[in-house]
A and B are shown apart, each in its own frame.
Chain A
Amino acid sequence: MRRWLDDLPKYADDSSWWPKGTKRCRPEVFLIWLGLPLTLLAYFSVGAVLCLALGLNQTNMNDYFAFGVWIVVDLAVIALGAGAFFTSFLNYIVGKTELKPIVNAAVLIGFICYVGAILMLGIDIGQPIRGWFGFWHANVHSMLTEVMFCITTYAIVLTIELLPSVLDNKRISRVPEFGTFSHNLHTIMIVFAAAGTFLSFFHQGSLGGMFGVLYARPFAARGGLGIWPWTFFLFIMSAIAVGPSFTTMVVMITEKISGRKLTKHSVKMLMGKISGWLLVVYMVFKSADTLWWAYIKLPAAGLTLDSMYQAPYGFWLLWVEIGLCGWLPALMLVQEKIRASYGWMFVAMLLACIGITLNRFVFTIQSLALPVLPFEKFYSYLPSWQEWGIASLVLGFGLLVFMLAYRYLPIFPQEPELND
């Protein structure tokens, strides 16, 4: 036993699995770090067992709030994970190869966001073992059917896109079959990038479209183009605007925690520039949509803007979403001086990500909080601790996968040369 303990550092040495030319923390330190995601996953497990065993009465959702924090988190992470499809689209299809050093990270983050969201929705649907009913008994008139088809299919695409990074692990790639398969996958990746772009375009849009067609919910309902309400296009624009920001932000946080440079600042600046200009375009359309909704759509229905914003969901939400976390980061990110500053660029990207999360929050919660019948009043909603537990799955799962991937997979090809 003593001898085994003495030899433990030798057995625990995993440095032969680290990406070439990189350094990682000692295994015991890594194990301590793993405690954080594992704690979150334990919290999730308690909430999940309670919800599955006792039912959705464990949540604070009710007849008014059929959607709660799970849908808010789901919509937010799907938007923030859009960096995967958009960066892949720009790299493989448009030919913006300057983004190559960050594509792997974007795909990994997208994979975490999508798989995390799907796992969380498994609890939301009440009976996960009947999840396949959505495919077999599909309601082809529902935007959500399209969302379900596209999200699950895109999760498969992301898994395939992530596969070369796994197979390129220093030890795994020594197996000739894996190394050759990975090489061949790299050469055909443009097909998966195109499939991912197609799927993402439609499910990001349909998530927004779902709100736009809620004709009985004046906060969300919009006019549109053909069968697509304006929210369909706004959700696509907002997702492709903040996706690159979120990817870059995660890379920057990883750099600060690990103390290592992972990508050149010029790559991050390019991501910031793309995000900034797309955010400007989105904000122009979002502002126009809000003005049209406030001054034409609502009065035409006999409603006022004041009636849409009541405590605790007051006007502050509108100003924070469109002003502080919308126009401000957009105008910051289009300036080269701001992008050149590591700190300011991070602040701008953080504001953009908060803004889009708020957007998904108001569309989900505020839409339902408004009274739509004469005897109803303005309601508010706070998730139960069980709901927070299940929502923490995305963070716990994400941290676990990202930490393992950062330690063992060649996610950041520029890391060796930047840390010589």
Chain B
Amino acid sequence: MFPFAYEWIWDIGHIIFFGLFYGILSVIFGTLTLTILKTMLDLWAGHIHEPEH
């Protein structure tokens, strides 16, 4: 549910619930995106991680 949905109410329940939910999703997907970007930069710079085996 997003704040523009007709069911949304600006009360403490919705703010806490969805604030934490979208907050944690942002952390997870933000970190994942940064890791992907760093991998792309590493590969462009030629910093390839060789497997240990």
Q: Which residues of A contact B (CB under 8 A)?
A: 20, 135-138, 140-141, 145-146, 149, 153, 156-157, 160, 168, 170, 173-174, 176-177, 179-185, 188, 191-192, 195, 198-199
Contact = CB atoms under 8 A, between A and B. Distances in A.
A184 B13 contact: no
Given A141-B13, A180-B49, A160 B32 contact: yes
Given A153-B21, A153-B24, A182 B43 contact: no
A153 B24 CA distance: 8
Nearest to A19: B53
B1 A181 contact: no
Contacts of A20: 52-53
A141 to B, nearest CB: 6
Interface in B1-44: 1, 5, 7, 13-14, 16-18, 21, 24-25, 27-28, 31-32, 34-36, 38-39, 42-43
A192 B51 contact: no
Given A149-B17, A191-B27, 15 more contacts: A137-B7, A138-B1, A140-B16, A140-B18, A141-B13, A156-B28, A157-B28, A170-B51, A170-B53, A173-B51, A173-B53, A176-B48, A180-B42, A184-B49, A188-B34
A135 B35 contact: no
Nearest to B16: A140
B27 A195 contact: yes
B17 A138 contact: yes
Contacts of B35: 181, 184-185, 188
A191 B31 CA distance: 8
Contacts of A145: 17
Nearest to A138: B1
B43 to A, nearest CB: 6
Nearest to A156: B28
Max chain B CB contacts within 10 Å: which of A141, A156, A181, A182? A181
A88 B34 CA distance: 21
A110 to B, nearest CB: 16
A170 to B, nearest CB: 5
A146 B17 contact: yes
A160 B34 CA distance: 13
Contacts of B43: 176-177, 180
7 contacts: A137-B1, A140-B14, A153-B21, A170-B51, A185-B35, A192-B28, A195-B27
B1 A135 contact: yes
Contacts of A188: 31, 34-35
Main secondary structure, interface of A, reads helix
A198 B25 CA distance: 12
Contact of A181 (B7, B27, B36, B52): B36
B45 to A, nearest CB: 10
A318 to B, nearest CB: 36
A67 to B, nearest CB: 23
A38 B3 CA distance: 44
A141 B24 CA distance: 20
A160 B28 contact: yes
Nearest to A194: B27
A182 B13 contact: no
A179 B38 contact: no
A69 to B, nearest CB: 29
Contacts of B14: 140
Contact of B25 (A140, A153, A176, A185): A153
Nearest to A202: B20
Contacts of B28: 153, 156-157, 160, 192, 195
A20 B13 CA distance: 51
Contact of B47 (A141, A153, A180): A180
B24 A182 contact: no
A179 B49 contact: yes
Contacts of A141: 13
A104 to B, nearest CB: 15
A402 B48 CA distance: 30
B49 to A, nearest CB: 4
B24 A179 contact: no
B39 A177 contact: yes
